[in-house]
Structure 1
Amino acid sequence: MVAELHKRFQGTPLYSKLDIRIGDVLKATLPAFDVCVANLPYQISSPFVFKLLLHRPIFRCAVLMFQQEFAQRLVAKPGSKLYCRLTVNTQLLAKVDHLMKVGKNNFKPPPKVESSVVRIEPRNPLPNINFQEWDGLLRIAFVRKSKTLLAAFKQTAVMKTLLTNYRVWCAKHNRKFPEDFDMKAKVEAVLEECGMLQSRARSMEQEDFMKLLLAFNKAGIHFS
Structure 2
Amino acid sequence: MGKVEKARKGGAASNSPYDRKSSAGKGAAATKNNVFKFNKDFGQHILKNPGVADAIVAKADLKPTDVVLEVGPGTGNLTVRILEKARKVIAVELDPRMAAEITKRVQGTPLQKKLEVILGDVIKMDLPPFDVLISNTPYQISSPLIFKILALPNPPRTSVLMFQREFAMRLTAQPGDALFSRLSVNSQFWARCTHIMKVGKQNFRPPPQVESSVVRIEPKLGKDRPNVSWQEFDGLLRICFGRKNRTIRASWSTKEVLSMVEKNYRIYCAMNNIPIDDGLVEGAGDGDEAMEVDDDNETGAPADEDEWGGVMDVEDGDDDTPEFFKEQKAAATASQPVKTPSRRKKTKLGEMIKEKIRKVLEDDTDLADKRSSKCDENDFLRLLFAFNNEGIHFA
The answer, yes or no, to whether TM exceeds 0.5 is yes
Between the aligned partners of 1:158 and 1:58, the Cα distance in structure 2 is 31
Corresponding residue number in structure 1 for 2:263 = 164
Deviation of the 1:103 alpha carbon: 1.1
Of 223, 226, 236, the match for 1:137: 236
1:27-46 matched pairs, under 5 angstroms: 27-46=124-143
Corresponding residue number in structure 2 for 1:191 = 361
Of 84, 106, 114, the match for 2:181: 84
CA-to-aligned-CA distance 1:172-224 (integer Å, 9 cap, x gap): 22223245442222211111211111111001111110111011000111223
Deviation of the 1:148 alpha carbon: 0.9
Greater shift, 65-74 or 123-132, is seen at 123-132
Instruction: State the one-letter code of the partner of 1:156.
Output: K
Corresponding residue number in structure 2 for 1:49 = 146
Between the aligned partners of 1:209 and 1:164, the Cα distance in structure 2 is 22
Alpha carbons of 1:28 and 1:184: their partners in 2 closer, same or farther (altered >3 Å)?
A: closer
Structure 2: runs of 5+ lacking an equivalent? 1-74, 76-98, 280-347
1:61 counterpart = 2:158? yes
Greater shift, 9-18 or 129-138, is seen at 9-18
CA-to-aligned-CA distance 1:89-119 (integer Å, 9 cap, x gap): 2222211111111111212221111111000
Of 274, 283, 288, the match for 1:175: 274
Deviation of the 1:8 alpha carbon: 5.6
Q: What number of residue pairs does the alignment pair up?
A: 224
Instruction: State the one-letter code of the partner of 1:170.
Output: C
Greater shift, 106-115 or 50-59, is seen at 50-59
Of 348, 371, 377, the match for 1:200: 371
Between the aligned partners of 2:116 and 2:270, the Cα distance in structure 1 is 51
1:1-16 matched pairs, under 5 angstroms: 1=75, 2=99, 5-6=102-103, 9=106, 13-16=110-113
Q: Report % sequence identity.
A: 50
Between the aligned partners of 2:107 and 2:258, the Cα distance in structure 1 is 60
1:73 counterpart = 2:170? yes
1:212 counterpart = 2:212? no
Moved segments of 4+, more than 6 Å: none
Corresponding residue number in structure 1 for 2:299 = none
Deviation of the 1:31 alpha carbon: 2.0
Between the aligned partners of 2:119 and 2:262, the Cα distance in structure 1 is 46
Find the residue that maps to 1:20 and give its secondary structure.
strand
Note the aligned Cα RMSD (angstroms). Answer: 2.0
Corresponding residue number in structure 2 for 1:222 = 393
Of 192, 208, 217, the match for 1:120: 217
Between the aligned partners of 1:74 and 1:201, the Cα distance in structure 2 is 16
CA contact (8 A) 2:196 2:214 kept: yes
Instruction: State the one-letter code of the partner of 1:161.
Output: M
Question: Which one has the largest radius of gyration?
Answer: 2
Structure 1: runs of 5+ lacking an equivalent? none
Alpha carbons of 1:174 and 1:6: their partners in 2 closer, same or farther (altered >3 Å)?
A: closer
Q: TM-score, normalised by structure 1?
A: 0.91
CA contact (8 A) 1:83 1:202 kept: yes
Deviation of the 1:83 alpha carbon: 0.6
Between the aligned partners of 1:106 and 1:145, the Cα distance in structure 2 is 35
Corresponding residue number in structure 1 for 2:191 = 94
Alpha carbons of 1:99 and 1:197: their partners in 2 closer, same or farther (altered >3 Å)?
A: same
CA contact (8 A) 1:32 1:56 kept: no
